Structure 1
Amino acid sequence: MKKKLIITEKPSVATDLARVLGVEQKNKTYYEGNNYIITWAYGHLLTLKLPEDINKDWQNWDLNDLPIIPKNIGIKPLPKTKQQLKAISRLAKRTDVESAIIATDSGREGEAVARYILEWIRFNKPVERLWISSQTTKAIREGFSNLRPAEQFDDLYASALARGKADWLVGLNVTRALTTKYKDNLSAGRVQTPTLSFIWKQEQEINSFRPHKFYKIYLVYQGQTADLLLKNSEQFETREQAEKVVQGLQKKSGLVEDLKVKQNMQDAPLPYDLTELQRTANSMYAFSAKKTLSIVQSLYEVHKIVSYPRTDSKYLSTDIKDTLKERLSALSGFDSQAKAYLRRGAKIVQRSVFNDQKVTDHYALIPTEESVQPAKLSSDELRIFRLIEKRFLGLFAEKFITETTNTTIGFGSAKFVFKQTRVVKPGWRFDLETETKKTKVQLKLKQQIEGQFIIKEKLTTPPKPLTEGTLLGKMEKFGLGTPATRAEIIEKLTQSELVKRTNGALITTPKGQQLLKLVNKSLASPDLTSKWEKSLESIAHGKVNYMDFVKDVEKETRRLVSEIKTSEIEYRDFGVTNKLCPECGYALKERNSRDGKILTCSHCGYRRRKDPKVSNHRCPQCHKKMVILEKNGQSYFRCLNDGTTEKMLDKKERKKKISKKEERKLLSKINNEDPEESPLAIAMKKAMEK
């Protein structure tokens, strides 16, 4: 019987597909049934080759070799997942496999994951594409009943190839050029460098800010205050100026010159795309972009209660309109408001959300038809799901209606305005208390009043540093990265020690600031990258030729490397310490690593921890945790409190040595038995003798 080979992006997705398709026989690297063989990747199983894989002469980083622009970069297997790649290759070559189905994530990178595999194993049989926006049973079944020819996604794959080649050419060449010229690990790239520049420019605005005092005049009437209207940015720089104006106002009577009542109607906000969700989660819960993406990915893959997360659209396609009632019904046991909308017939009020022209690969983030089980969600998952769910419920909600009353009172040419707003109908803001009281200031047109004035001292405030949320907004505005990659870019900036997180804000390090002085101005600007991102989108839609784009990137790469080579800007490494390498005498550099801060020698490769590692081993004297020290190839425990030092035993020695817990247990049993006859007593004596 002929079978189809299904390739998924990860094991959990393969398990879901096997369940839905009734593929029950599980093997180490695949599932098998009558019609399908389902296997999986672990994300990317292959990656672009490094320069030294193409030409051994490029293994040593040499400024004279740059720029490196090979005709064909090629791909190679990732070492940790080679066995899975071999397993997929064996399955693909089976005589009963007649075709393949790409079932990786429905996006640019998901396409690349599968296409790289098929290219590497030289698959020459027909290929189809599963394209779904949620992992529910219903969506999977519908997706398999509407499989599409893989050729329809060739342009999407070309876009992925173009993105990979652009990042390789620019990132690798510029990073090598900076690193070799200035003899420090300086990482740059077409997206991360302009992102770094955003953070630094905001800091410069903050640093150049100088606060100054100014004064404002207020009219007080019936316990309420109204601002004095000033033209443009006009302010009173001194109290004397404000007091002089007030003296003039006190000689006049006020007249109600205008009274306007305006009703404002506001539609519910559209559902989330990934970037806006990350911004909201950062603002409300201080979640990093990476954490929010991880949580929403879990809601999609594990719990299956939200649609595809890596979307850049806030709109829905018209073909899912009929599914919204079922999605609302799935929320009825989770949210009473959903139940209320169902009783009203699940009428969709926000009809503008359906716009096929504004849906690219995937529609907005919304709940699926799966029932929500809050007990199975973590507190963070529940927070993120509630954000997505509230936006979805807004599609069925009435408008938020307010009434604003603006009362203008004139004292000659000076005008004061009382602005008062009350809620007429909460609509989609159903959790807001409705204001039913009348306006607090009761005035009539042409009414005269006697004014009471106060002067308040104010201070100008500096711009705020960028948070991950505000940075994501800037990246989206200038087209830097995609919803799927922006979190990764921010993480890379912190891991490269170019940016650090401080009290919820992102701050550049001295190394990051120096990098921006060394790197090409065009690379630090968002304009070049924004232009390329638009080209990548156009390639995905068949509007721009792949080779034309690559030639443009190659030309830009040559220019960028040339600028770095001829630059005369000096560089100072802020990581250099006054400690010398014990091997060669060069100054050691301080670096961050996954294991804490380390000291390294860029000359001979020597490295050690900056501070001793704290262990869970307790001091026998003071019972405080001891640190681990190394000397002459031997590890020791030392107590920093009283200086107690113990040799660290290897695994064999630790097995031989009896633990204190075991010692107490044995003693307890011995005390309850006759010492002369007890075999435990004999065992205890032997153990204590060792």
Structure 2
Amino acid sequence: MSKSLYIAEKPSVAQQFAEALKIKGRRQDGYIESDTAVVTWCVGHLVTMSYPEAYDTKYKRWSFQTLPFLPKEFKYEVIGNVAKQFEIVKGLLNRPDVDTIYVCTDSGREGEYIYRLVAQLADVKDKKQKRVWIDSQTEEEILRGIREAKDEAEYDNLSASAYLRAKEDYLMGINFSRALTLKYGPALSNYLGTRFTVLSVGRVMTCVLGMVVRREREIRNFVKTPFYRVIGNFESPGKDGAPVPFDAEWKAVEGSRYFGTPHLYKDNGFKDREHAEELIAMLREEPPMEAVVVSKEKKKETKNPPLLYNLAELQNDCSKMFKISPDETLKVVQELYEKKMVTYPRTDARVLSTAVSKEIYKNIGGLKNYGPMAEFAQEILDGGSFKGIAKTRYVNDKQITDHYAIVPTGQGAGSARNLPPLSEKVYQVICRRFLSIFYPAAVYQKYSLELERMKEHFFASFKVLAEPGYLKVADVNLAKKTGVEETFEEGQSGKAGDDAQNQENTGEAEVQSPKVDRTVLLQMLADLKKNDILTLVDLNIKEGETSPPKRYTSGSIILAMENAGQLIEDEELRAQIKGSGIGTSATRAEILKKLFNIKYLSLNKKTQVITPALLGEMVFDVVENSIHQLLNPDLTASWEKGLTYVSEGSITSDEYMEKLERFVAGRTVNVIRMNNQYDMRRFFDSAAAHYKRQESNKKEN
């Protein structure tokens, strides 16, 4: 009797498939078998690319004479510590009674690569192979994936791109790391006083290193600019006659004595304090101290729920809220996925598919069993807002490649309280973002005032939440809470802050008026009319200074990697690689982790702020003066786009490999011919000065 073989990526996933298929068979050593089916598993990767010495022993010794290393046929080998499981899987794949193989590794490029390598070394022939592609590990989704499994050959292009990605990283890593180590390693060792220094570079990791080092150097070279703002303290009579205080900020508009003068910092401050004092003195000259209302504007502002989470957005928010690394976030959400509680985590999409939107009520309904979300889920189901979701921006098939956004499945919600505290917080963050899209926009009431005194103008704006809309479910301010409970803070955006990595403090922050009862303030603003006379109680100077760019955090660097196109100046290339970024959702956290492990970057675990280490800066300078393209996101992202073209079938693997080999060979030979290693010392000295200063400060403290 013939049997079907199901091969998963991990033992825990294999168990889910066995349960879904109702396989009651006894668990053997490395597989589960019944009368009709066998379920087995990999343990992550079972096969890897061989080191150069496997091709020829001459490659074991690093030498310029053996570079560039560009094998015509690549070799692969079983990873030593999982050899036993590989032999088990190999035997099952080739068993005579197995006629159909269901490939159930993770539904993505890396999962496809894991299976293809195993099948390649196991020499699988004359078997029907079908690909199971699922978005969650619920029983319903597993059975659907098996029922709709396509022929494995339909994923040949995806497999080709996976092989090429590995070859690309391998060739760049082997050739560039060896060439740079041979050329510059002695100079680094001599400077650092170490015996031997290996330079580790790669397509993605070196680009990320470049982003962090450049940001650090921008901060060091930043020159603060002081500025002085003039704030007026005003009073307007309230309904009961009691004065209602508020603040307004002076700006130099046309008609002002300072308009267009070189004394200004932008239009709302002065470069020197004396001119701010001069303005205040002038405004105090003519009693009574009053100002007239020139204009009052009232308008509504709506704020729509944000798009759903992809992995990068979730990693960024968790870094901000819970001060955890992207690697930790991925680990937590992967566990939630394996518990069937959320959909596939390694996704770049932030929308749902049309097919999923038709049955989204099931996901919502399951959350009625999860206390903190129960009321919201019931409200959505009662109101029927989920019925029109397919016509909104939250559903878009064109924005989905492999998987849709991360959302709760609705299953397992009842046991969410038994999760570890951090896991429940991450789960609730995902739930809140998901349920938000079924609520209306938040509505704010905005008032803008313009006041005039002696041809000088003051401006004030007020923003009050009128209708909370989605904000009542979107509160993700959980980091400071001991437990997880439904709460609502007025004005909470539902997104943990904006990415302010490149924002400069220019003095344009909203003026904070004295605290007044909201009802009283709203009533005063509603009653205020053009030409009303207000009392100017006092004038003050508020001193500020421009701020340097902010350092990357473990979360914001992930977003920066995803949106690498924004860092590219060339408009045509930026458009070409839009949506590609640096690395993939599956690899970014691991790349960052490696940079910390090899001491190129440092991570403050309390704040999740990333800074370069001295060795990282030295490697940056070496690469900048040898293979500078590795530091640029345009090159890195364009390679990633090339892989996308292969997976789509737009270009062939041979075309890609030809370009790759030409690039690797050219840059490697260029390094060999260079003679600038002794010039590096001045760059090393420049970087080291900042670290010596840090050590000195530590000793003093």
Do the structures match in fold with TM over 0.5?
yes
Distance 1:572 1:45 in 2: 43
Q: Which residue of 2 aligns with 1:179?
A: 181
Distance 2:305 2:170 in 1: 43
Matching of residue 204 in structure 1 with residue 196 in structure 2: no
Matching of residue 227 in structure 1 with residue 249 in structure 2: yes
Instruction: Output the amino acid matched with 2:137.
Output: Q
Q: CA deviation at 1:348?
A: 4.9
Distance 2:175 2:411 in 1: 48
Q: What SS is found at the alignment partner of 2:380?
A: helix
Matching of residue 192 in structure 1 with residue 205 in structure 2: yes
Q: CA deviation at 1:573?
A: 13
After TM superposition, the structure 1 = structure 2 runs for residues 52-201 of structure 1, keeping only pairs within 5 Å, are: 52-124=53-125, 125-181=127-183, 182-183=185-186, 184-201=197-214
Q: What SS is found at the alignment partner of 2:393?
A: helix
Count of equivalent residues = 574
Distance 1:266 1:326 in 2: 27
Q: What SS is found at the alignment partner of 1:361?
A: coil
For residues 614-649 of structure 1, the C-alpha deviation after alignment (integer angstroms, 9 at most, x for no partner) is xxxxxxxxxxxxxxxxxxxxxxxxxxxxxxxxxxxx
Q: Which residue of 2 aligns with 1:425?
A: 467
Matching of residue 396 in structure 1 with residue 438 in structure 2: yes
Distance 1:573 1:214 in 2: 36
Distance 2:519 2:382 in 1: 27
Q: Which residue of 2 aligns with 1:516?
A: 620
Query: Are the equivalent residues in 2 in contact too, given 1:422–1:436 (CA < 8 A)?
Result: no
Distance 2:681 2:546 in 1: 36
Normalising by structure 1, we get a TM-score of 0.80
Query: Are the equivalent residues in 1 in contact too, given 2:324–2:608 (CA < 8 A)?
Result: no
Distance 1:500 1:202 in 2: 14
Distance 1:40 1:230 in 2: 70
Q: Which residue of 2 aligns with 1:456?
A: 542
Instruction: Output the amino acid matched with 1:445.
Output: K
Q: What SS is found at the alignment partner of 1:428?
A: helix
Query: Are the equivalent residues in 2 in contact too, given 1:325–1:346 (CA < 8 A)?
Result: no
CA distance 1:420–1:19, change in 2 (3 Å):
same
Query: Are the equivalent residues in 2 in contact too, given 1:518–1:564 (CA < 8 A)?
Result: no
Query: Are the equivalent residues in 2 in contact too, given 1:101–1:130 (CA < 8 A)?
Result: yes
313-322 vs 426-435, which moves further: 426-435
CA distance 1:228–1:73, change in 2 (3 Å):
same
Q: Which residue of 2 aligns with 1:540?
A: 647
Q: What SS is found at the alignment partner of 2:356?
A: helix
Distance 1:243 1:273 in 2: 51
For residues 443-467 of structure 1, the C-alpha deviation after alignment (integer angstroms, 9 at most, x for no partner) is 3112233434221222333322211
Q: Which has the larger radius of gyration?
A: 1
Q: What SS is found at the alignment partner of 2:437?
A: helix
Q: Which residue of 2 aligns with 1:272?
A: 309
Query: Are the equivalent residues in 1 in contact too, given 2:231–2:247 (CA < 8 A)?
Result: yes
Q: Give ranges in structure 1 of 5+ residues lacking alignment.
A: 576-690
Q: Which residue of 2 aligns with 1:569?
A: 677
113-122 vs 500-509, which moves further: 500-509
Matching of residue 358 in structure 1 with residue 399 in structure 2: yes
Instruction: Please state which structure has a larger fraction of its residues in strand.
Output: 1
Instruction: Output the amino acid matched with 1:3.
Output: K
Distance 1:537 1:414 in 2: 58
Q: Which residue of 2 aligns with 1:51?
A: 52
Q: CA deviation at 1:101?
A: 1.1
CA distance 1:561–1:413, change in 2 (3 Å):
farther
For residues 358-416 of structure 1, the C-alpha deviation after alignment (integer angstroms, 9 at most, x for no partner) is 01100000001313112331111001101100011012111100010101113355321
349-358 vs 274-283, which moves further: 349-358
CA RMSD of aligned residues (A): 2.0
Q: Which residue of 2 aligns with 1:471?
A: 557
Query: Are the equivalent residues in 1 in contact too, given 2:618–2:683 (CA < 8 A)?
Result: no
CA distance 1:56–1:99, change in 2 (3 Å):
same
Q: CA deviation at 1:64?
A: 2.3
Q: Which residue of 2 aligns with 1:13?
A: 13
After TM superposition, the structure 1 = structure 2 runs for residues 197-596 of structure 1, keeping only pairs within 5 Å, are: 197-222=210-235, 223-230=245-252, 233-234=266-267, 235-251=269-285, 254-301=291-338, 303-334=339-370, 335=373, 336-345=375-384, 347-348=386-387, 351-372=392-413, 373-411=415-453, 413-430=455-472, 431-433=488-490, 438-439=521-522, 441=525, 443-451=528-536, 452-478=538-564, 479-502=581-604, 503-519=607-623, 520-565=627-672, 566-570=674-678
After TM superposition, the structure 1 = structure 2 runs for residues 611-626 of structure 1, keeping only pairs within 5 Å, are: none
Q: Which residue of 1 aligns with 2:501?
A: none
Query: Are the equivalent residues in 2 in contact too, given 1:101–1:129 (CA < 8 A)?
Result: yes
For residues 656-688 of structure 1, the C-alpha deviation after alignment (integer angstroms, 9 at most, x for no partner) is xxxxxxxxxxxxxxxxxxxxxxxxxxxxxxxxx
Instruction: Output the amino acid matched with 1:385.
Output: Y
Q: Which residue of 2 aligns with 1:634?
A: none
Q: CA deviation at 1:162?
A: 1.1
Q: What SS is found at the alignment partner of 1:347?
A: helix
Q: Which residue of 1 aligns with 2:42?
A: 41
229-238 vs 46-55, which moves further: 229-238
Q: CA deviation at 1:314?
A: 0.2
Q: Give ranges in structure 2 of 5+ residues lacking alignment.
A: 187-196, 236-244, 254-264, 473-487, 492-517, 565-580, 685-701
For residues 473-521 of structure 1, the C-alpha deviation after alignment (integer angstroms, 9 at most, x for no partner) is 2111111111111100100101111011135311111111110111121
Query: Are the equivalent residues in 2 in contact too, given 1:199–1:506 (CA < 8 A)?
Result: yes
Query: Are the equivalent residues in 2 in contact too, given 1:423–1:436 (CA < 8 A)?
Result: no
Q: CA deviation at 1:40?
A: 0.6
495-504 vs 311-320, which moves further: 495-504
Q: Which residue of 2 aligns with 1:2?
A: 2
Distance 1:470 1:567 in 2: 38
| Greater relative CO, 1 or 2 (CA 8 Å, sep 6+) | 2
Q: CA deviation at 1:567?
A: 4.3
CA distance 1:438–1:551, change in 2 (3 Å):
same
242-251 vs 188-197, which moves further: 242-251
Q: What SS is found at the alignment partner of 1:332?
A: helix
For residues 54-108 of structure 1, the C-alpha deviation after alignment (integer angstroms, 9 at most, x for no partner) is 1221011112211101111121110111111111121122211112111000000
Distance 1:255 1:167 in 2: 67
Q: Which residue of 1 aligns with 2:511?
A: none
Instruction: Output the amino acid matched with 2:395.
Output: F
CA distance 1:564–1:376, change in 2 (3 Å):
same
Query: Are the equivalent residues in 2 in contact too, given 1:480–1:533 (CA < 8 A)?
Result: yes
Query: Are the equivalent residues in 2 in contact too, given 1:313–1:358 (CA < 8 A)?
Result: yes
Distance 2:438 2:618 in 1: 52
Query: Are the equivalent residues in 2 in contact too, given 1:132–1:143 (CA < 8 A)?
Result: yes
Q: Identity across aligned pairs (percent)?
A: 31
CA distance 1:413–1:149, change in 2 (3 Å):
farther
Query: Are the equivalent residues in 2 in contact too, given 1:29–1:40 (CA < 8 A)?
Result: yes
For residues 541-576 of structure 1, the C-alpha deviation after alignment (integer angstroms, 9 at most, x for no partner) is 11222211111111111222123221413356999x
Distance 1:34 1:397 in 2: 50
Distance 1:413 1:536 in 2: 62
Query: Are the equivalent residues in 1 in contact too, given 2:299–2:447 (CA < 8 A)?
Result: yes
Distance 1:454 1:534 in 2: 55
Distance 1:462 1:344 in 2: 48
Q: Which residue of 1 aligns with 2:698?
A: none
